[in-house]
Amino acid sequence: MHELPVTQNVLEIALRHGKAANASRIMSINIVIGELASIVDDSIQFYWDIISSDTIAEGAKLNFNRINAEFECKVCGERYKLQGNELVCPDCGSLQIDIVAGKEFFLESIDVE
């Protein structure tokens, strides 16, 4: 559980960019979370409601865009998603794989007034 410091970072980034855009209110915050990022979006929402009060981001809607983990086999080029526990290439059994998606964790944009 480290969602509190994570949420504080979200607030800091959002307020900084909101200020730079001369916003009077931040309406929504769009966050991209990969499946492998170990972040629970419900917990972020919980902390958000507490720490955003009395800021221009108070009441802002948090939108989470979840990205599924995706792998690419370096040997046969097979692209695949997580299947149970096994991470090896389902096509050729190779261990040499690239994680092509799922590590993302960034604040993509804010909607301001």
Partner 1 sequence: MTIRVPVVEKIMSANDRIASQNRARLDNARIYSMNLMASPGGGKTSLIELTIKNLAELLRLAVIDGDVATSIDADRAASAGAVAVQINTGGECHLDAVMLQSALRQIELDEIDLLIVENVGNLICPASFKLGTHKNVLISSIPEGDDKPYKYPGMYRGVDALVINKIDLLPYVPFDMDYFRRGVEVLNPGLLTFPLSCSTQEGLDSWISWVLQQTQSNRII
User: Which residue has 């730079």 as its token pair?
Assistant: 20
Least distance between partner 1 and beta carbon 97 (Å): 6
Least distance between partner 1 and beta carbon 30 (Å): 8
50 counts as binding partner 1 under rule CB under 8 A = no
Q: Which of residues 82-111 bind partner 1 (CB under 8 A)?
A: 85-88, 95-97, 99, 105-111
Q: Are 45 and 62 in contact (CB under 8 A)?
A: yes
**Between 1 and 40, how does the x/- string for binding to partner 1 read (CB under 8 A)?**
xx--xx--xx-xxx--xx-xx-x---x---x----xxx--
Using H for helix, E for strand and C for coil, what is the string for 5-68? HHHHHHHHHHHHHHHHCCCCCEEEEEEEEEHHHCCCHHHHHHHHHHHCCCCCCCCCEEEEEEEC
Judging by DSSP bridges, how do beta strands 79-81 and 70-73 pair with one another?
Answer: antiparallel
- Interacting residues toward partner 1 by CB under 8 A: 1-2, 5-6, 9-10, 12-14, 17-18, 20-21, 23, 27, 31, 36-38, 85-88, 95-97, 99, 105-113
